[in-house]
Structure 1
Amino acid sequence: MTSHSDSRSRVLVMGGGLAGTLAAAAVASHCDEVVIVERHTLPDTPVPRRGLPQARHAHMLWSGGADAIEDLLPGTLGLWLDAGAHRIPLPSGMLSYSPCGWYRRWHEPRYAVDDLYLIGASRDLIDWGVRTRLQADPRIRILTAEPLRLLGDRTRITGAVVQHGPGRQERLHADLVIDAMGRSSRATGWLGDIGVPAIPETTLDAGVTYASRRYKAPAGASGDWPAVTIQPDARIPVPGTAGSIIPIEGGTWQVALCGTRGGEPTGDPERFEEYARHMRHSLVADFLAAAEPDSPVSLTRDTASRHRHYGKIRMPAGFLAIGDAATALNPLYGHGMSVAALGARGLRDVASAMGGITGPRFTRRAQREMGRPAAAAWRLAAGQDTFFTGTRGRRPTLADRVSRAYTHRLIRTAASNFTVAEALTRVMSLQAGAGVLAHPRVLLGAIRGPLLPPLTGPPLTAEEDAVKQSPSISNLRCS
């Protein structure tokens, strides 16, 4: 075992995924060196990498998260767009079927909202853009090694032991260690090994299974094709089903289908479009009938929401957890990447406000600030997940039922009230907290209720309707 120590200040980030790279960007200006420890070699191009099987699934990067990334690493958004990503305006660029019917798209210029959007891109492209901007900083280096355990005691973490290969271990000393190892992080066990009390954990599991597949966009589907989402309705006492189409780079669509416990999709490619056909609305299936599959079906079941309550015990100084290592969210709502980005920006802001990363109360304050966006996203997810048939973890409380009743009132009103629609979109895109839903104008809109009759079908443009009505690929092949 070798040892490495010097007088330079160092931050050690365990995990080279999106949360880890953004955390590195957040602290780089407050230390001499940031070392990202990642088990697998990270690619230099936007291609799949080992250790990230979820990259094969659809990812939503909401504007709240994209803005945070651009703030941390200016120029990243331009890299994505130049490489073929889509900046999809909201709400005009989304076809969304809510539990209360179709949202209007508010195409008129007077309803344009410049700061609300969705990035349509593969996870490989998103991660590559962040890594590319990050590696321009000479203070940051990526070390291919496997973290083995933490150094320090129950009062302060002083680094970690990493392994480069059989019998080749190294002690990396650091002023701050950040756990960004995701859902599979072993840091809670390592903390226990040095005397830190067990970290309380809350789990909420709706039993969601995800099936994802890429399709070649059909002829007639232009570059400004909308995102499509069919949302589940937890009020119905049957398993929830949902689906989405996200246009990504390369003229392709990333398609995701999901179902809660008892209504899960399978990995059978022959049943992929059949499952889409039997969701609450068939629009996703209608569009897929005109497109051509471009990948196998990828399946995942590890989707439970898990929250580690680091703030409930006295944690050692010098340790933080970010992203899924702290709060892993049900991917149904597409908030994971955005929460990690907002958490990293919160980390940077605390370091700036406190004049560095080594103050006596820095890690406690930083963990609390990093946890704010995660807590907001958790409440959004739990407010629905608790009502699905077969959810494990906890049952709905009276407060949950009151909140759900108000939320559904807002959703129903939003279909014909732009003020309410914009407020809901700001919350969903993590551009604002749930407090905006209590604004007097929003409350008044909820009291008044819908101003227009509900839409009888999806608000398609002529181009979108032509694609929907076009002959299916399968019929053309058989003719």
Structure 2
Amino acid sequence: MAEHSNGGRTAIVIGGGLAGMLAVTALLGHVEAITVVERDRYPEGRGFRKGVPQARHLHILLSGGQRALEELLPGTVAALGEAGARSLYLPRDLLTRTPTGWQRRFDERRHRTLSVTRPVLDAVVRERALQAAAASSTRVEVLEATEVTGLTGDADRVTGVRVRSRDGARGAGRDLPATLVVDASGRGSRTPQWFAELGRSAPREETVDAGLAYATRMYRPKDPDTAPEVGVNVPGWPECPRGAAYVPVEDGAWLLTLSGVRGHHPPTDAAEFTAFSATIGDPYVHELLAYAEPLSPVYGFHDTCNRRRHFARPGALPEGFLVLGDAGCTFNPVYGQGMSVAALGALAVRGALDAAGGLRPGSAAAAQRAV
């Protein structure tokens, strides 16, 4: 990576998940120091954490997201494979049932998709991002169990954040100054409220809510010989607004996600979940469950609204502030696009800062437009 004159500039990244670690990677070399503020404590090993509400459900990294991730952190896709991520070439390795029948299966080898549980993906990216930071001129510190309670500055410029520890007494807080603040806090971003506190209006927001809900359970085939050769996708359609996806992940496990629109939300009771799988548009997935043992409870998820906040509009951002990932644009997880968009967005940030010669007046707004 080319050296940049960082002139003592510092950055704060709100959120230490996937988007946050990719933001760190994009900023390396452009600032002297980065502080990541993460609400949770990272789990030991590669476990689930509360701050990733959709972590129990299916996650795929599309080919465009993999290319962006490799450009940001070379070798990460191979590291994910070593950690057990499954490579699925579409449509060879994921069969889709439509109202007119099963789509044709053919081996094109153009678009590889990675299927992996979210804790493994987050842990691998975090490990590699922090390794890249250690080898760079930028110092990176991660404040775990620390909550951002607001922004400092005024309507024209953000100068840092207010934080408080989530361990022990919640009343004490402090200010952390920074040249740039990046909101990578995900679906629960509080930036609109923080803007109001600074005397700014929130950006224009668009939402599209299909009313879709999910329920997911992990399984392992009782006999490897009875496992399907490929993943299976049976999306809902107007005559049958219920769907299912059964996809392999690491360690020989499979995730079954059932879905349905309003009035057809899948249950989280184990017996009712199994019964619901018999009501989708094809019996194949339900029949597979007879040959698999459950490895987890059933987990539900309802926050599937598409939401875009137009931070890139002229004047929508104060100087010194940038939004990345779900905090700016949240996709219904049915598309499988969120993680790839976060990677592409981080790559866009790095490219915009490279083009601007680092952090300068207006460079954050240019980076936001690139995102």
Task: State TM-score, norm by structure 1.
Answer: 0.71
**C-alpha deviations, 1:7-62, integer Å up to 9, x for none?**
72111100111111111111112111111100111135211123223111111221
**2:151 and 2:158 in contact (8 A); partners too:** yes
Q: Which amino acid aligns with 1:151?
A: T
Q: Percent identity?
A: 39
Q: Following the alignment from structure 1 to structure 2, what is the Cα–Cα distance between the partners of residues 257 and 286? A: 14
The match for 2:113 is 118
Q: Which amino acid aligns with 1:106?
A: F
**1:19 and 1:341 in contact (8 A); partners too:** yes
Q: Following the alignment from structure 2 to structure 1, what is the Cα–Cα distance between the partners of residues 100 and 55? A: 31
Residue 328 of structure 1: which of 299, 308, 330 is its match?
330
The match for 1:179 is 183
Report matched runs for 1:250-265 at 5 Å. Answer: 250-265=251-266
Q: Following the alignment from structure 1 to structure 2, what is the Cα–Cα distance between the partners of residues 241 and 64? A: 28
1:205 Cα deviation from its structure 2 partner: 1.1
Secondary structure of 1:312 counterpart: coil
Q: Aligned in 2, Cα 1:293/1:135: closer, same or farther, shift over 3 Å? A: same
**C-alpha deviations, 1:429-456, integer Å up to 9, x for none?**
xxxxxxxxxxxxxxxxxxxxxxxxxxxx
Tell me whether 1:69 sits opposite 2:73 in the alignment: no
Report matched runs for 1:222-301 at 5 Å. Answer: 225-233=229-237, 236=238, 240-301=241-302
Greater shift, 188-197 or 276-285, is seen at: 276-285
Count residues with an aligned counterpart: 356
Q: Aligned in 2, Cα 1:258/1:22: closer, same or farther, shift over 3 Å? A: same
1:295 Cα deviation from its structure 2 partner: 0.6
Which structure is higher in helix share?
Answer: 1
The match for 1:163 is 164
The match for 1:423 is none
Secondary structure of 1:188 counterpart: helix
Q: Following the alignment from structure 1 to structure 2, what is the Cα–Cα distance between the partners of residues 146 and 45? A: 23
Secondary structure of 2:43 counterpart: coil
**1:239 and 1:263 in contact (8 A); partners too:** no
The match for 2:54 is 54
Greater shift, 298-307 or 215-224, is seen at: 215-224
- Structure number with larger C-alpha Rg: 1
Q: Following the alignment from structure 2 to structure 1, what is the Cα–Cα distance between the partners of residues 349 and 67? A: 15
Q: Following the alignment from structure 1 to structure 2, what is the Cα–Cα distance between the partners of residues 217 and 140? A: 42
Which structure is higher in strand share?
Answer: 2
The match for 2:4 is none
The match for 1:82 is 82
1:346 Cα deviation from its structure 2 partner: 1.0
Report matched runs for 1:64-463 at 5 Å. Answer: 64-107=64-107, 111-113=108-110, 116-136=111-131, 137-138=133-134, 139-144=139-144, 145-164=146-165, 165-221=169-225, 225-233=229-237, 236=238, 240-312=241-313, 314=315, 315-356=317-358, 358-370=359-371
Secondary structure of 1:275 counterpart: helix
The match for 2:3 is none
1:297 Cα deviation from its structure 2 partner: 0.3
**2:240 and 2:280 in contact (8 A); partners too:** no
The match for 1:416 is none
Secondary structure of 2:142 counterpart: strand
1:160 Cα deviation from its structure 2 partner: 0.7
1:292 Cα deviation from its structure 2 partner: 1.1
Task: State TM-score, norm by structure 2.
Answer: 0.91
Secondary structure of 2:304 counterpart: coil
**1:199 and 1:313 in contact (8 A); partners too:** no
**C-alpha deviations, 1:161-201, integer Å up to 9, x for none?**
11125343222111111111111111111111111122211
Q: Which amino acid aligns with 2:319?
A: A
Q: Which amino acid aligns with 2:322?
A: L
1:123 Cα deviation from its structure 2 partner: 0.4
Secondary structure of 2:36 counterpart: strand
Q: Following the alignment from structure 2 to structure 1, what is the Cα–Cα distance between the partners of residues 109 and 183? A: 40
**C-alpha deviations, 1:114-163, integer Å up to 9, x for none?**
xx111111000000000110111223221121101101112111111111
The match for 1:412 is none
Greater shift, 67-76 or 258-267, is seen at: 67-76
Q: Which amino acid aligns with 2:268?
A: G
Q: Following the alignment from structure 2 to structure 1, what is the Cα–Cα distance between the partners of residues 313 and 225? A: 50
Q: Aligned in 2, Cα 1:221/1:360: closer, same or farther, shift over 3 Å? A: farther
**C-alpha deviations, 1:48-93, integer Å up to 9, x for none?**
1232231111112212112211221112222211121111122211
1:222 Cα deviation from its structure 2 partner: 8.8
**C-alpha deviations, 1:315-362, integer Å up to 9, x for none?**
211111111111111111111111111111111111111111x22221
Which consecutive unaligned segments of at least 5 residues does structure 2 have? Answer: 1-6
Q: Aligned in 2, Cα 1:98/1:349: closer, same or farther, shift over 3 Å? A: farther
Q: Following the alignment from structure 1 to structure 2, what is the Cα–Cα distance between the partners of residues 270 and 171? A: 50
